[in-house]
């Protein structure tokens, strides 16, 4: 199932794809910072969203 990970602050799409990647890995790819709003990304406390994409 495709998944989408978005920044909770600005809704920037950090990851979208069919492969499941753990939020930790995605956060690390962005150096723990949202490229759009410069907000620090972390999974705890949760400030990103992981949603299944229904198409």
For binding to Zn ion (CB under 5 A), which residues are involved? Answer: 7, 9-10, 12, 34, 36-37, 39
Return the exposure string of 23-52: e unless at least 16 CB atoms fall within 10 Å of the residue's CB, then b: beebbeebeeebeeeebebeeeeeebebee
Question: Cβ of residue 11: shortest distance to Zn ion, in angstroms?
Answer: 7
Q: Minimum distance from CB of 40 to Zn ion (Å)?
A: 10
Q: Please say which residue, 1 or 50, places its beta carbon nearer to Zn ion.
A: 50
Given a contact cutoff of 8 angstroms between Cβ atoms, the answer to whether 10 and 40 are in contact is no
Tell the smallest beta-carbon distance from residue 9 to Zn ion (Å).
4
């Amino acid at each position: 199932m495709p998944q989408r990970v978005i920044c909770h602050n600005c809704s920037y799409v950090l990851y979208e794809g069919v492969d499941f990647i753990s939020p930790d890995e995605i956060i690390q790819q962005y150096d723990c910072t949202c490229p759009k709003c410069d907000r620090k990304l972390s999974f705890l406390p949760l400030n990103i969203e992981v949603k299944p994409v229904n198409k």
